[in-house]
């Protein structure tokens, strides 16, 4: 839990969204104003997964998003963004369903990935519980 909180804190500080830790500001979508997938990727994902989605090794292991066959079905990346797992923090408290769909669609269609179908909103809603 401490590692997950530390990773989230680092991401929020690096992206200029440290105000997301304020308990007075808790509604989804209030923390990241970006709506487009590319902007969300740059604000949230590239800090760990790198600008071209190539992943990184260092203080932790950040898997590559580029050329990643695990992204072929939209449920897997939607789950990871919404719910988190291991060192990946959950972002469903910081993003609304449309933002999650937008950033996952971007990841699935860029950096060597050619999964061109947009993310299914029913999948997002099922995995966020909203």
Whether 71 contacts 49, CB under 8 Å:
no
Distance of alpha carbon 105 from alpha carbon 48, whole angstroms: 18
d(CA 4, CA 85): 9
Across residues 119-128, what is the average pLDDT? 96
Using CA atoms, how far apart are residues 64 and 53, in angstroms rounded to an integer?
Answer: 6
- What does the pLDDT look like over 19-45, one tens digit per residue? 444 433 344 446 898 999 999 999 999
What is the CB-side half-sphere exposure of residue 30 using CA atoms within 13 A? 12
- Picking from 93, 76, 94, 74, the residue whose alpha carbon sits closest to that of residue 85 is 76
Give the Cα-Cα-Cα angle 10, 77, 47 (nearest 5 degrees): 25
72 has a pLDDT exceeding 90: yes
Residue 60 has a pLDDT of: 85
Query: Are the C-beta atoms of residues 75 and 127 closer than 8 Å to each other?
Result: yes
Q: Is the pLDDT reported for residue 48 higher than 70?
A: yes
Q: What is the pTM of this model?
A: 0.76
Q: How far apart are CA 87 and CA 8, in angstroms?
A: 9
- Is the model's pLDDT at 17 over the cut of 50? no
What does the pLDDT read at residue 58?
86
Q: Answer with the residue of higher pLDDT: 103 or 26.
A: 103
- Higher pLDDT: 80 or 21? It is 80
Domains recognised in the chain with CATH numbers: 2-128 (1.10.760.10)
Round the average pLDDT of the chain to a whole number and report it: 84
- What pLDDT is recorded for position 14? 55
């Amino acid at each position: 839990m401490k590692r997950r909180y530390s990773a989230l804190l680092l991401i929020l500080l690096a992206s200029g969204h440290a105000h997301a830790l304020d308990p007075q500001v808790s509604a989804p979508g209030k923390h990241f104003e970006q709506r487009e997938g590319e902007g969300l990727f740059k604000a949230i994902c590239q800090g760990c997964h790198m600008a071209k989605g190539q992943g990184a090794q260092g203080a932790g292991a950040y898997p590559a998003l580029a050329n990643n066959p695990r992204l072929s079905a939209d449920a897997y990346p939607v789950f990871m963004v919404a719910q988190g797992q291991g060192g990946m923090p959950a972002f469903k408290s910081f993003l609304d369903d449309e933002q999650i769909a937008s950033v996952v669609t971007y990841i699935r269609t860029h950096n060597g990935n050619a999964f061109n179908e947009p993310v299914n909103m029913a999948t997002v809603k099922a995995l966020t519980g909203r």
